[in-house]
Amino acid sequence: MYVSVSNKCKGCGVCATLCPEVFDVCGSFVIANQEHVCGNEDSCIDAALYCPQNAIMIKEY
Ligand code: SF4
């Protein structure tokens, strides 16, 4: 799974709450592990679904 966060991110922290293994809030934006074999891919997908800015993009390998 490949995860990236666009510059639409406002740093609300929803993604880091749902999937802290992948997303880390840093000030007003989020750092996502670019390539991550997530232990719980469903939580990562939830983060993308619930991002209010629609800033999270996920691609399957
Ligand atoms: S949920 Fe979206 S807007 Fe909020 S911190 Fe994560 S990527 Fe940014």
**Domain extent listing, the chain:** 2-59
pLDDT tier at 18 (50, 70, 90 boundaries)?
A: very high
- CA of residue 51 to ligand 1 center, whole Å: 5
Does the beta carbon of 30 lie inside 6 Å of ligand 1? yes
pLDDT for position 50: 97
Distance CA 41, CA 33 (A): 13
pLDDT for position 23: 86
Task: Read off the pLDDT of residues 30-49 as tens digits, 9 standing for 90 and up.
Answer: 776 666 555 668 888 999 99
- Indicate which atom in ligand 1 lies nearest the CA of residue 8: 3
> DSSP letters along 1-61, please?
-EEEE-TT-----HHHHH-TTTEEEETTEEEE-SB---S-HHHHHHHHHH-TT--EEEE--
pLDDT for position 20: 86
Does the beta carbon of 31 lie inside 6 Å of ligand 1? no
Which tokens in the block code for residue 41? 């891919």
The residue-averaged pLDDT of 14-18 equals 92
| CATH classification number, 2-59, choose in 3.40.50.970, 3.30.70.20, 3.50.30.40, 3.40.50.10680 | 3.30.70.20
Does the beta carbon of 10 lie inside 6 Å of ligand 1? yes
**Number of residues in the chain:** 61
